[in-house]
Homo-oligomer: A and B are copies of this chain.
Amino acid sequence: MGLVVQKYGGSSVADAEGIKRVAKRIVEAKKNGHQVVVVVSAMGDTTDELIDLAEQVSPMPAGREFDMLLTAGERISMALLAMAIKNLGHEAQSFTGSQAGVITDSVHNKARIIDVTPGRIRTALDEGNIAIVAGFQGVSQDKKDITTLGRGGSDTTAVALAAALDAEVCEIYTDVDGVFTADPRVVKKAKKIDWISFEDMLELAASGSKVLLHRCVEYARRYNIPIHVRSSFSGLQGTWVSNEPLSDAKDQKVEQAIISGVAHDTSEAKITVVGVPDKPGEAAAIFRAVADAEINIDMIVQNVSAASTGLTDISFTLPKAEGRKAIDALEKAKASIGFDSLRYDDQIGKISLVGAGMKTNPGVTADFFRALSDAGVNIELISTSEIRISVVTRADDVNEAVRAVHTAFGLDSDSDEAVVYGGTGR
């Protein structure tokens, strides 16, 4: 029995009852002979309440102070969780990100972990304690200021600690049973995936699946830390994410599926730059303007230019929240780039099919397009990787498209049991 890192999100510790429930589960793992390190998020709505307060005193809260403020949230939940565990007769100590040795760069509100030096955690474990660590936070290497890791930060904290402590597994507890072959709110027959490779999970996360964030999976892959995503409300096995199926999972006769799942995303918009002169450097100028505004773009498609005009159109997708900023940046650069006009469309959706099996199954792409066509779904953009095909459609067609593809690839469950599916905290 080795070392286990468990992470609990805000919905699992939303109130005193939740904290006591989680404490019991942690003690269970300890009783089973594990050394246990727990990473915990802020309780329920605490973070939103703190953000509200910040907005009341300042319209543009400074990064350093905003991080100092937000980290109070985990401080509360971790201390309460340690108390609840001690109340069950087991030793527990809570540690801030700084005390746990989570060293980051100095980019406030979205710092990156650059080192983990968990000396105090190791000592606490060796003395028989359960160690409770604040998720989402660290301390900057140069200035020793408190930092936060941004979205999905607590998951990343858990995986980083698991790597630094050479843990057997990093268990991510959430309010769903695991990773599904599609969003169960859309596809009633979506199945829980027993095992999925890091590679496929990365593609699913990049394509709209919200259970695990890309950044956390990327970290786990780099250090080869198996992740077990599971519900804090049930005792069920969840989804294992790792390089190879683990022995535990093998007992359940898991083999790699051709297709892991269907992801969808309706949080993006499409910008089309119309009438771009078809000459070298034009695309570069456009995306330089967008990148300088610190906007992350997703898919890019350039049409074949019309021979008669020598002009072409370039489309790309980006988060809706950054649409305004991108339009402003492009309008400003319009004269120097030289294009006719901009079109902005936020009524789009993206459907992605993910599976390493498609590398060796050339028919997958054809089957995918056939399923969409049979469902009467029109395709606007296409982009592919070695193990993923994504298309952009009308937003209204997304749910129908996801269901059609899910069925076409034989992913539908035999059971009709409904699954409740929600997002994780940070």
Contacts and interface: CB of A to CB of B under 8 A. Distances in A.
Contact of A84 (B58, B66, B73, B92): B58
A255 to B, nearest CB: 44
B57 A87 contact: yes
Contact of A75 (B23, B64, B72): B72
A199 to B, nearest CB: 40
A99 to B, nearest CB: 7
Contacts of A61: 83
A60 B86 CA distance: 9
A76 B50 contact: yes
Given A72-B76, A75-B72, A20 B65 contact: no
Contact of A69 (B56, B57, B79, B99): B79
Given A93-B64, A99-B144, A84 B57 contact: yes
A83 B99 contact: no
Contact of A76 (B19, B53, B81): B53
A75 B78 CA distance: 15
B99 A57 contact: no
B71 A83 contact: no
Interface string A165-201: 0000000000000000000000000000000000000
Contacts of A73: 72
A40 interface: no
B78 A68 contact: yes
A257 interface: no
Given A53-B80, A79-B65, A86 B72 contact: no
B93 A79 contact: no
A58 B87 contact: yes
A363 interface: no
A59 interface: yes
Interface in A16-69: 16, 19-20, 23, 50, 53-54, 56-62, 64-66, 68-69
A82 interface: yes
B75 A62 contact: no
Residue from A23, A50, A82 whose CB has the most chain B CB atoms within 10 Å: A82
Contacts of A68: 75, 78-79, 82, 94
Nearest to A42: B72
A92 B92 CA distance: 36
A69 B62 CA distance: 24
A93 B65 CA distance: 7
B57 A80 contact: yes
Nearest to A139: B99
Contacts of A76: 50, 53, 69, 72
A69 B64 contact: no
A94 B78 contact: no
Instruction: Name, among A61, A79, A92, the residue most crowded by chain B CB atoms within 10 Å (CB to CB).
Output: A79
A53 B87 CA distance: 14
A71 to B, nearest CB: 7
A169 to B, nearest CB: 26
A59 B69 CA distance: 28
20 contacts: A16-B56, A20-B57, A50-B76, A53-B76, A54-B83, A57-B81, A57-B83, A57-B84, A58-B86, A64-B93, A65-B93, A65-B94, A68-B79, A69-B75, A69-B83, A71-B75, A72-B72, A72-B79, A99-B144, A120-B144
User: Nearest 8 pairs between A and B by C-beta?
Assistant: A16-B56, A69-B79, A68-B79, A58-B87, A58-B83, A72-B72, A72-B75, A57-B84
